[in-house]
Structure 1
Amino acid sequence: MTTLALALWNDEAGFIVSAELVLIATIAVLAMVVGLSEVANALNQELEDVASAFGSVNQSFRYQGLCGHGGHSGGTCFEDR
């Protein structure tokens, strides 16, 4: 068991490959962080646009009275400011 552990400890055949993989993984993680940050900013901006659209909906209405067949209905109105 000791000889196997010593052989694995002294084996450097895959050192360059693992170092390259660590570098590639680091770059990939940094790219994902930047990309997700931009996605979060874009989503926040879109939700602000939706909130602005809901806030600018005009809810004013005007209803004229009706009269016919013996029934009458008074009109009403509401002005949204």
Structure 2
Amino acid sequence: MAVTLDEQLLEILACPSPDHAPLRVGSPDDPQADALTCTYCGRVFPVRDGIPVLLLDEAMSAEDPEGERDDADVDGA
């Protein structure tokens, strides 16, 4: 099921990384996913119970098909 967030909220939300890029609904592989994807770095943030979880620790790399976190990017290592 696709994320249904208010358009005004989507305009305000941004990736919590230092780049602060806008987010788009869905994931790169599934536009209907309950997730928001950063338009710059490609991190995928889950949406749980209609609430975006915009924590870098919870983000998944766009290149990670297993859905595991990309700790190297998150920790800056």
- What interval of TM-score do these two structures reach, taking the shorter chain for normalisation? under 0.3
Higher helix share: 1
Larger gyration radius, structure 1 or structure 2:
1
TM-score, normalization: structure 1? 0.15
